Structure 1
Amino acid sequence: MSEDPASAPPPRRAGSIALRLAAAALVSTLIAVTAGGFALSHAFHRSVEAAFDQRLEALHRALVAALRVGRDGAIGLDRGLGDPRFDQIFSGWYWQVEEVGQEGMTDEVVLASRSLWDQTLDVAGTPGSGPAAVRQIVDGPTEGVPLRLVARTITLPDHDGPLVVAVAADAAEIGLETRRFDRLLILMLGGLVLVATLLTLVQLRWGLAPLRRLSGDLDAIRAGRAARLDEQRPREVLPLVRAMNGVLDHDAEVVRRARAQAGNLAHGLKTPLTLLAADIADLPEERRAAARRQIDAMRLIVEHHLTRASAAANAAVIGARTPVAPVAADIARSLERMFARRDPPLAITVDLAPDLESRGDLDFRGERQDLEEILGNLMENACKWAAGRVRVSGAAAGDDMLLILIEDDGPGLTPDQARAALQRGRRLDERVPGSGLGLSIVSDVVEIYGGTLALTASEELGGLATRVTLPRAEETGRRRR
């Protein structure tokens, strides 16, 4: 069971190569920058902690070096530590010295920094002696403020029992410095992502420029400004360009052969028909007239199908472009000579798109011979029926179509007659010479090119108005984006 085309899902759009590459580059940059940012932030945090601990170690060694035992056995400092924060109450920087009591537990604070005021540092357990200090996070004298503490057990000459010397500082300073660094890192990495994105867009624009030029060149071929693609291309695009040129050359060869075959067929058929027309001269009058009618009918059928086949081949030509005004002017001059003996004289006016000078030329996207076939039949038909005036005008109909209007001041047609006139071989008045195939051939050629043909009443001249829409060639110098 075949699927209903109307119910089939619409085809998915392939999207943009530039957008895909930009998205991939942005995602890769974000991943790399994020991973690098976390690594830098972690390394900086560890570095700040290590530097903070080294500073506490240095202060601890300075404090131990400054401790002295007085003559009365009291412990004191023979010099300050050089940091005024130890003298500011609850500044976040503290030190204290405790005696180790019985069973190895700290007992009494014998000396402390002024910043501790009436508080003490809670050193858990008894730290060891030697270079291995104990680092702890303890509660400070200010509620909710954790301290980073370094403590070591030492002994002093002239003093009985060991002492626990501790130096502590506000651990929030580490967080403050690391947060400041993180903010700066985020700003720098964000700027790096922005710059990388802009550079990626510039790189993509520069890298995809050959594809944009290729698109513009294809538009030039479609508009008739070029026949083939220039093969001076980057290596990556050159195979595609050569393949496209191969297709264009193949299509041109197919059209050339079709035209040659149509010409050969026309010659091969018209010659026997001409001989038959000459051979019936000896027939009786009645039979001669009947044979002539059949020969004329065959000739018209051959002409009709050859014209349609030629138009179909021409419509397949990529880049065909024909200016409308010169073709209409040439046909008008020929018709004026053809109807020169008419009384009253026939006036043919060609007024094609006078308001489009600023927007480019009015060009037909097709072969000249097909435009001549269309305008020739329609303008000749208008001249046959006109009382004295025929006017050809035109204008753009949207971005890709053109409208040609052929009017006369003749008797015109009723709607029923207009429909009948487009039927193949139908003649509305046998007194006017013609085959009756002209409008039918025009209708077929217009249909092959995707246009329309309509017969209406002329509002200004009062006769017949033939409206033809045909594909319009792209304006000279314009490029599609």
Structure 2
Amino acid sequence: MYVRSVTARVLLLATAWSGVALVVIALVISALYTKSAERAFTDLLRAQLYNVVNSITIGEDNALAGNPQLGDLRFSQPETGWYWIVEPLGTFAATPLSSSSLGTSNIKVPSILNVPFNNRYERFYPAIDAFGNNVLVAETEVVLDSEGRAARFRVTGNLTVVTEDVQAFTQSLYIALVVFGLGSLVVNGLAILFGLRPLDEARRALEKVRRGEAERLEGEFPREVHALTIEMNALIDSNRRIVERARSQVGNLAHSLKTPIAVLLNESRLIDKGRGDVVRGQAEAMQSQVQSYLNRARIAAQRESMLARTDAEPVLERLMRVMRRLNPDKTFELIATQANLALAMEQQDVEETVGNLLENAARHSKSGVWLTIMPSLAPEGEDPARRNWVEIAVEDDGPGLNPDEIKEAMKRGRRLDESKPGTGLGLSIVGEIAREYQGRFRLSRGRRGGLRAVLTLPGISRDAA
């Protein structure tokens, strides 16, 4: 599964690596300690073996004599697994000697072929005593006098000592490594969060630019992030120059077309009424279409910038006041379900789209127009996590439109009511502006029986951080 968060990704990798490293370290240290404990146990048995060898002699009665003092009470306690045994070899027919811990039992001796002696004429092999103890046997054979009489010396130690020692060490080791691992996880998490904090600061600075609170990325950033902020500021400056150049070109084009269109409109008044009305209507349509395409060019340039912002409620309230003055016989009501909503649009585009809808609603309403603004879900195909969205609905109590009429009304230049003034471009212009901002515009029949026009536009919430 792909992890989108850099912090989570780094923390996950660091945790996985730390876990694997700690497991490997635990296994290696445990294995090394086990070998060290076994080697120390073998050395102890060897020392005790030669202590027994040095303590045994042949007495005057040709019998084995001696009393080894190994300094360990376990050699005198029964069934402990700690024994020493001296057995005569060959023709030497003396009575064997053994520690009191062994009692009358004995330990089986493997053949030399199965367990050979080493170069020091010693051999070590595991065995099980008569009491079920797992023991390690250290054995050697020594010539005791000049007559060649020899004996086999064996010393055993209980392997439980090694096992318990290794288990206690391993348990302590695992506890220490777990505590160290948890501490390392916390420290790694804090280090990663602290190390990646400049990225969050850069994100917040960029968000301020997007919300229109700043014009550039500002702040102190480390060297690795500073280069990114330089490139982002360069991109913002480039976008700003594109917008300014587009606005300049739009202004120049509007100025160059203003006079010819005005001349056509004036000349249409001097022509006889039939032809004059035709020329005037076409000139007005041309003026509206030119303005529409100029707006689209301006919006396309503005869309490259991240600085567009308009507080929705004050602009809509101002439009409603204008409509109340123009239509004193009708009611205009503004309903805002959430305060402090802002649109990621130029104010001029907000006024043009909503103004067109209000004019159309006022023209066909019977008694009133209702304007509602609220947060909205993202339009289909848009990422809901990328930005906030705002819905603006304009509804009247007029005759409304059926589905076929709605399709015709959305077409450029189509007018369903020829008895009322207009060019038939208002709704199509609204739809074009909404699409330029990646928004959505739709018509339907409202609850009051009239037409309901809904705009879904990109928004910015002041409370978003």
Bin for the TM-score computed over the shorter chain? 0.7 to 0.9
Indicate yes or no: 2:3 matched with 1:53: no
Distance 1:160 1:407, change over 3 A: closer
SS at match of 1:392: strand
SS at match of 1:182: helix
How far residue 27 of structure 1 moved from its aligned partner, in angstroms, is 4.5
Q: Which residue of 1 aligns with 2:195?
A: 207
Indicate yes or no: 2:345 matched with 1:366: yes
1:94 is matched by which residue type in structure 2? Y
Could you tell me whether the CA contact under 8 Å between 1:349 and 1:391 is conserved in 2? yes
How far residue 19 of structure 1 moved from its aligned partner, in angstroms, is 4.3
Cα separation, 2, equivalents of 1:38 and 1:455 = 71
- RMSD between superposed Cα atoms in Å: 3.4
Indicate yes or no: 2:73 matched with 1:84: yes
Indicate yes or no: 2:104 matched with 1:118: yes
How far residue 250 of structure 1 moved from its aligned partner, in angstroms, is 1.3
Report the TM-score, using the length of structure 2 for normalisation: 0.84
How far residue 319 of structure 1 moved from its aligned partner, in angstroms, is 4.0
> How many residue pairs get matched?
452
Q: Which of 447, 451, 454 is residue 459 of structure 1 equivalent to?
A: 447
TM alignment of 1:12-411, pairs within 5 A: 15-67=4-56, 72-77=61-66, 80-102=69-91, 108-121=94-107, 122=109, 132=120, 134-142=122-130, 145-153=134-142, 155=144, 161-279=149-267, 287-340=275-328, 345-353=329-337, 356-357=338-339, 361-398=340-377, 400-411=388-399
Structure 2: tracts of 5 or more residues without a match: 378-383
Q: Which residue of 2 aligns with 1:449?
A: 437
Could you tell me whether the CA contact under 8 Å between 2:49 and 2:138 is conserved in 1? no
Could you tell me whether the CA contact under 8 Å between 1:135 and 1:149 is conserved in 2? yes
Moved more, 423-432 or 59-68: 59-68
Cα separation, 2, equivalents of 1:371 and 1:182 = 72
Distance 1:280 1:383, change over 3 A: closer
Cα separation, 1, equivalents of 2:148 and 2:293 = 128
Could you tell me whether the CA contact under 8 Å between 1:98 and 1:107 is conserved in 2? no
How far residue 370 of structure 1 moved from its aligned partner, in angstroms, is 0.6
Report the TM-score, using the length of structure 1 for normalisation: 0.82
Could you tell me whether the CA contact under 8 Å between 2:124 and 2:139 is conserved in 1? yes
Distance 1:414 1:120, change over 3 A: closer
1:347 is matched by which residue type in structure 2? T
Cα separation, 2, equivalents of 1:468 and 1:168 = 93
Summarize deviations over 1:73-115 as a string: whole Å, max 9, x none.
544335743323222333211112233334xxx7654321122
1:44 is matched by which residue type in structure 2? Y
1:442 is matched by which residue type in structure 2? V
Could you tell me whether the CA contact under 8 Å between 2:123 and 2:139 is conserved in 1? yes
Distance 1:396 1:319, change over 3 A: same
Cα separation, 2, equivalents of 1:265 and 1:229 = 34
How far residue 220 of structure 1 moved from its aligned partner, in angstroms, is 3.8
1:117 is matched by which residue type in structure 2? G
Distance 1:456 1:284, change over 3 A: closer
2:36 is matched by which residue type in structure 1? S
